[in-house]
Structures are given as structure tokens and as C-alpha cells.
């Protein structure tokens, strides 16, 4: 039977030792989730992972993975074919200590959160080092624990600093622009934020994990709205830790904490205003199931039949 499919989205999920992609197909008659492929296993060889913790998709469709405990970046085709890798453990330029997040600019340049070196490193698409900035500390342009990074439409870089409960914004060259946030429960405050994403209109969404909520800000850090609370019902969270924005402005949140007594691993989808749309996810290690989500990203969408 021929069914018209209105939207096609590739969603990639990082699990503890592997990576799989899942297509999310929205049909006129309803919604269907279809597992597509998986690759990776525990290890340090090419194509293997040791706690992959972040990923991003380049303009050419290739997938870059921050292979955290192997202290390297790996690049694959959209079908999981290995292309290249770079990095080793250390403090020098091009080396890493537990990289945790990765973002790719429209020009193909790659930004990596080099977490235990408390810095951001920039590379070209082939992995050649360009520049680095950051050091340990609470001052502006310094970091505690970098959990996530995102790139705005204007090319600026937003960094979530979980240890200092704040967000910082930098130019593409690493020049400090602004910061906001402090420890607390009020609007604009955070408790161990872990995820950040930028909408097409430039607004900033932060996964405020410790407060079990999502907060939305303007590009300048002005508070707009928040939603979510602790719980297992629709629109509630246990530990929101990854967030991505679809081209239509939809907000996808990975709520992942399988160690808690009431833990779960699910994806929730919301409108840009925080209205709950749907959720999905089944805990397990079989194809198409998810456990301990470490990263999530969306590939370009479009009409598909």
C-alpha cells in the first residue's frame, strides 16, 4: 500500500558502547518509528567506541562522534562507513581528555568540547587543528565541566558549563561575548545543565537537568519560558540531558536516567512553545531499543515516499 509520508527525519542516538540511527517517519495516517541501522561495539579499534558522548552531522551528511574514553573523534558516512579519526590522550593541540560534545558550523569547521582539558578546540572537516580557547576556572571564558556546545545561525558558539551552572557565548574565533545563569531554581538559573540547542530563529534552549525542565532564552540570554517538572507523565522529566531542534522548530528532549529507581530512556517531542506532542522509547540493547542515551542529533529532513 502506498502511503504519503509528509516528513522524514534521521535521528542518531549514542548509547554507551555503540551508535545507532533511527528514522522517524511522520505519515498522514499517523506516526511510525523505524529502526534503520547500527554500528559500533566496545573497543579502541577503528569503528569501535568507549563511551561515545557526543555527535554531530556535517553539511555533507557525514557523522562525527566524540569517542570520549578513547580520547578521539571519529568520522563516518551516514551509513556508518569509517572515514577518518584523529586525537589521542593529552593536553596538546589536537589531543583530548574525555571529549564530551561536538558541533559543526555551516562552513564545515568542527568544534569539540575537550572536557577534562577545560577548553574548546576547533578543527577543519579533515581534523586539522585551527585554534583552542578556555581553561579551568569560574571567570568569563573559563570552564568547570563542559557538557554541551551549540552553534547559532550567526556562527557564534554557546557552551553549557554544568559545574558553574551557566551558559557562555563566544564568537567563532573564541572571543567571549556574554554569560548568564547561576545555581538555583528561578527562571534563568540552572542546576547542572547538560544540553543546549539553538532554534532557527536564534533562540536558545537549555536542558536544565537538575531542575527537571527546559528553559528557552533569546540569543542574548533573556528568559522567555520554561516547562517541565519532575515526574514520569507527558511533559515531565527525570533527567533531561540532550536536546535538539528540528527544522520546523520542534524540540526533542532525551530524558535518560536508567540508574534511578523510576528511571527511563525516552525521547519527548514538544512544540517551540513547549507543548507536548509525543514521546517514544523502549529500554533495551536490541536493535531499535535505547539505553543510557549519551547523544542525539537530527539529520536534514524533507519529503519522502
Q: What's the CA gap between 96 and 89, in Å, rounded?
A: 5
Q: Note the pLDDT of residue 28.
A: 39
Supply the pLDDT for residue 259.
Answer: 62
Percent of the chain with pLDDT over 70: 82
Degrees to nearest 5, angle at CA 223 with 217 and 229:
90
**Range in 9-13, 144-148, 279-283 the model is least confident about:** 9-13
Mean pLDDT, range 227-246, rounded to an integer: 93
Give the pLDDT band of residue 181 (cuts 50, 70, 90). Answer: very high
Q: Which three cell numbers stand for residue 300?
A: 536534514
Residues 33-70 have pLDDT tens digits of 567 778 888 899 999 998 888 889 998 889 999 999 99
- Read off the pLDDT of residues 74-88 as tens digits, 9 standing for 90 and up: 999 988 899 999 999
Tell me the three cell numbers of residue 182: 547561576
pLDDT for position 287: 66
User: Is residue 196 over pLDDT 80?
Assistant: yes
pLDDT of residue 32: 57
Q: Rounded to an integer, what distance in angstroms lies between the CA atom of residue 116 and that of residue 124? A: 22
How far is the C-alpha of 220 from the C-alpha of 179, rounded, in Å? 9
Band (5; pLDDT cuts 50, 70, 90): very low
Q: Is 70 helix (H, G, I), strand (E, B) or coil?
A: helix
Strand-pair category, 204-208 with 213-217: antiparallel
Of 3 and 64, the one with more pLDDT: 64
* pLDDT above 50: residue 101: yes
Q: With cut-offs at 50, 70 and 90, classify the pLDDT of residue 173.
A: very high
pLDDT over threshold 70, residue 261: no
pLDDT in tens, 268-302: 999 999 999 988 877 766 666 676 777 788 776 43
What sections of the chain are H helices per DSSP? Answer: none
- pLDDT at residue 9 in the model: 40
- Distance between CA atoms of residues 115 and 62, nearest Å: 23
Look at 23-32, 99-108, 202-211 and tell me which has the smallest mean pLDDT: 23-32
Amino acid at each position: 500500500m502506498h502511503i504519503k509520508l509528509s516528513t522524514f527525519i534521521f535521528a542518531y542516538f549514542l548509547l554507551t558502547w555503540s551508535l545507532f540511527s533511527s528514522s522517524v517517519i511522520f505519515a498522514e495516517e499517523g506516526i511510525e518509528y523505524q529502526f534503520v541501522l547500527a554500528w559500533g561495539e566496545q573497543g579502541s579499534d577503528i569503528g569501535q567506541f568507549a563511551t561515545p558522548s557526543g555527535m554531530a552531522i556535517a553539511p555533507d551528511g557525514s557523522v562525527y562522534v566524540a569517542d570520549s574514553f578513547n580520547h578521539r573523534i571519529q568520522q563516518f558516512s551516514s551509513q556508518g562507513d569509517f572515514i577518518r579519526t584523529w586525537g589521542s590522550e593529552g593536553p596538546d593541540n589536537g589531543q583530548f581528555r574525555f571529549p564530551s560534545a561536538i558541533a559543526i558550523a555551516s562552513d564545515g569547521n568542527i568544534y569539540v568540547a575537550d572536557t577534562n582539558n577545560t577548553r574548546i578546540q576547533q578543527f577543519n572537516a579533515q581534523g586539522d587543528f585551527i585554534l583552542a580557547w578556555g581553561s579551568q576556572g569560574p571567570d568569563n571564558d573559563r570552564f568547570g565541566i563542559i557538557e554541551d556546545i551549540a552553534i547559532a545561525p550567526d556562527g557564534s558558539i554557546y557552551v553549557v558549563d554544568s559545574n558553574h551552572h551557566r551558559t557562555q557565548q563566544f564568537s567563532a574565533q573564541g572571543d567571549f561575548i556574554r554569560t548568564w545563569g547561576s545555581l538555583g531554581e528561578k527562571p534563568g538559573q540552572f542546576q547542572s545543565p547538560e544540553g543546549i540547542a539553538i532554534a532557527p530563529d536564534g533562540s536558545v534552549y537549555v536542558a536544565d537537568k537538575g531542575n527537571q525542565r527546559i528553559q528557552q532564552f533569546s540569543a542574548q540570554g533573556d528568559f522567555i519560558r520554561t516547562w517541565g517538572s519532575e515526574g514520569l507523565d507527558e511533559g515531565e522529566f527525570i533527567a533531561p540531558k540532550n536536546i535538539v531542534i528540528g527544522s520546523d522548530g520542534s524540540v526533542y528532549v532525551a530524558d535518560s536516567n536508567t540508574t534511578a529507581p523510576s528511571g527511563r530512556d525516552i525521547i519527548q517531542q514538544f512544540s517551540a512553545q513547549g507543548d507536548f506532542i509525543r514521546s517514544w522509547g523502549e529500554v533495551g540493547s536490541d536493535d531499535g531499543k535505547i539505553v543510557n542515551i549519551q547523544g542525539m542529533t537530527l539529520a536534514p529532513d524533507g519529503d519522502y515516499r
